[in-house]
Amino acid sequence: MIDSYKVSYSVDELDDLREIYSYIAKNSLFRKLLALIWGVFEKKFVHWISCQLAMC
């Protein structure tokens, strides 16, 4: 048996939900982008350090 129901939101509630979803999406995307940038930086830094040590 499947129960069904209808949910209605006020305009203010819909605005709040949009803000919450937007906040979650932006922060999730920001964390992924930051991790990607950090990974690229870390690889380049490790490569640079390796080259510096090889010259010694």
pLDDT of 5-25, one tens digit each?
888 889 999 999 999 888 887
User: Is 5 among the domain residues?
Assistant: no
pLDDT value for 14: 92
Q: Specify the number of domains making up the chain.
A: 1
Range of the domain at 19: 14-56
Would residue 1 count as lying in a domain? no
Say what the pLDDT of residue 55 is.
67
Please report whether residue 6 resides in a domain. no
Task: Give Cβ neighbours of residue 17 (< 8 Å, ≥ 6 apart).
Answer: 9
Nearest one of 48, 28, 25, 24 to 36, comparing CA atoms: 28
Q: Is residue 8 part of a domain?
A: no
Residue 56 falls inside a structural domain: yes
- What band does 36 get if pLDDT is binned at 50, 70 and 90? confident
What's the whole-model pTM score? 0.45
Distance CA 23, CA 17 (A): 10
Share of the chain above pLDDT 90, in %: 16
Q: Which pLDDT score is estimated for 1?
A: 67
